[in-house]
Chain A
């Protein structure tokens, strides 16, 4: 590398990366189904044995390890119980039935936009009412330009765990093959952002204009095994 200044290196070990997360935390988990999901970080979070977590994730299946240990009391999601698995016994189903887990359903794009807003300093925004159906975060409506809209609140978390197709030690991120999904907006929307890198390159390998999320919003990186 040319130039001066301190070398930024945000790499930490998987064992150390979540030690300061506390009971009651709100946690965003990136990925979409099997695509770009930070599975090692989910396992590491489950190992902490925390209680009373609020989890924000597109679909519930990847965080089943957290339901298994009863760590989650509130879930904000687009896919809570998957239709094909309605009859299958799961810890999530059990928690729903015994009342220890509550669910807030949100249409997938509104969920993404609430997260984007949370990372962009926008406390709330209006969306056309016909886009949300019965799934809304407030009952506040307003007619704008003749269209009925509903107020949707931003989401911000204590912790975001996200996957990145590629990362450098400074936390600059980029994605391939549809793995960007929720990983990009969630990277901005939490006090502590921990990234599971699927591939790692040296500083400078990613051209600045191809960095999709700048390293300055990322706190810690877990390199691939």
Chain B
């Protein structure tokens, strides 16, 4: 669903977790330029080829470069990010609050945090999407009115994409822009820890 949110020609960063799956769901004919933190621009899914160039992500997953890609270093990479050239950043999060705040770097079980590059990836993007599962493994909502976890990026999310639909944080409520096929408003309400508005 997140892949469907992207316009052709856009320059997109995908974070770790669910967002990292997005390039694998983008059809070959879509002209989307993906950015990875270590300075790699223009990779696609592993279907792209033939090419002799591959790139590893943080966890060692292999992506293929599309023709015309670029590989720099971390300083060049984040120069592109902070200077406002990213059209879209897609981040994961543990929880997201109704003001669009991302609890994305530390849970109660973690004795120290991992913000990665998310403050800049969020701050430098024209649009910030959050892609996450609507509830955690124990069924607890990840869309909450206010999170008990610390908020990382200073910039709030514009849109939240879960398996239940698309949601826009409006300060105190989430607006359900679109529900996934077969999902009822009642199910969304039951699995969300904040007021949800259905336009």
Contacts and interface: CB of A to CB of B under 8 A. Distances in A.
Nearest to B78: A109
Contact of A178 (B55, B78, B111, B154): B55
B82 to A, nearest CB: 6
B111 A81 contact: yes
Interface stretch (B36-44, B140-148, B173-181): B36-44
B120 A107 contact: yes
Contacts of A178: 36, 38-40, 55-56, 71
B73 A59 contact: no
Interface string B28-40: 0000000011111
B77 A107 contact: no
Contact of A32 (B17, B37, B78): B37
B117 A108 contact: yes
B116 to A, nearest CB: 5
Nearest to A96: B111
A180 B153 contact: no
- A interface, how many residues as a size bin? 35 or more
A112 interface: yes
A105 B71 contact: no
Contacts of B75: 109, 112-113, 116, 184-185
B74 A81 contact: no
Name which of B111, B119, B123 has the most chain A CB atoms within 10 A of its CB.
Answer: B119
B74 to A, nearest CB: 4
Interface in A182-196: 182-185
Interface string A72-112: 00000011111100110000010011000001010111111
Interface string B88-114: 000000100000000001110111111
Contacts of A127: 82
B115 A177 contact: no
Given A108-B120, A132-B119, A83 B78 contact: no
A82 B117 contact: no
Contacts of B124: 131
Interface in A162-189: 175-178, 180-185
Contacts of B152: 133-135
B2 interface: no
A129 interface: yes
B115 A133 contact: yes
A77 to B, nearest CB: 8
B58 A33 contact: yes
25 contacts: A33-B59, A35-B60, A58-B74, A78-B116, A80-B113, A83-B94, A103-B112, A107-B115, A107-B116, A108-B74, A108-B116, A109-B82, A112-B73, A112-B75, A129-B154, A130-B123, A133-B123, A134-B150, A135-B115, A135-B152, A175-B73, A177-B53, A181-B73, A181-B74, A184-B73
Interface of B: 17, 36-40, 53-60, 71-75, 77-78, 81-82, 94, 105-107, 109-120, 123-124, 150-155
Given A33-B59, A105-B114, 12 more contacts: A34-B58, A35-B60, A78-B115, A83-B114, A107-B120, A108-B115, A109-B81, A175-B73, A178-B38, A180-B38, A180-B71, A184-B75
Interface of A: 32-35, 58-59, 78-83, 86-87, 93, 96-97, 103, 105, 107-113, 116, 127-135, 175-178, 180-185, 212
